[in-house]
Amino acid sequence: MQAKISKRLIDSMATPEADTFLWDTETKAFGVKFTPAGKRIYLLQYRHAGRLRRYTIGQHGSRQR
């Protein structure tokens, strides 16, 4: 799925049954992974030595201690 990623859009997305990715239409290779546990994780996708890799930037939302 592709869309302009914004906080409002991420907060409004429902929790999926399986891992789901939302890719930004303005910034190439930038996306958000939605997990069944309710986590929203920002990531960057790239290729290295011919293999597809995903780098985790961090979680969306309030930081809990």
Task: Please write the tens of the pLDDT for every residue from 18-53.
Answer: 999 999 999 999 999 999 999 999 999 999 999 999
**Predicted local confidence at residue 24, as pLDDT:** 96
Q: Find, among 50, 6, 51, the residue nearest to 26 by Cα.
A: 6
The structural architecture, per CATH, of the domain 2-59 is: 2-Layer Sandwich (3.30)
**Residue range 1-19: mean pLDDT, rounded:** 92
* Whole-prediction pTM: 0.85
